[in-house]
Amino acid sequence: EIVLTQSPVTLSLSPGERATLSCRASQSVGNYLAWYQQKPGQAPRLLIYDASNRATGVPARFSGSGSGTDFTLTISSLEPDDFAVYYCQRRAFGGGTKVEIK
């Protein structure tokens, strides 16, 4: 069973700053990795699929990179709407990273 470990658990940043979120797999997953955003009381929203492809309607400030065991979600300049919890997934989900306002 592949385990995904996300870091950091919490990221405190200000609007306009760059956010870098990490997801590490316990064994290679190729490029089969997705990233989701979830806000309180809402269903998850797909941001990135197959490690680096933006889903329909996702702003260009969101980008994904990596392959094998190490992956990164980057938000180039945080907007107020971006403060949320982010999950990586390759069937099983990582534990999540909360991006909060500093």
User: Binding residue for another protein (CB under 8 A) from 92, 100, 101, 102?
Assistant: 92
Identify the DSSP state of 55: P
For another protein, the closer of residues 92 and 101 by Cβ is 92
Q: For tokens 């870098």, what's the residue?
A: 20
- According to the binding rule CB under 8 A, does residue 25 interact with another protein? no
Q: Indicate the pairing of strand 97-101 with strand 10-13.
A: parallel
- According to the binding rule CB under 8 A, does residue 37 interact with another protein? no
For another protein, the closer of residues 5 and 77 by Cβ is 5
User: Binding residue for another protein (CB under 8 A) from 52, 61, 69, 95?
Assistant: 95
Q: Which candidate, 102, 101, 99, places its Cα nearest to that of 9?
A: 99
Phi and psi dihedrals of 17, rounded to 5? -80, 165
Binding to another protein in span 57-86, by CB under 8 A: none
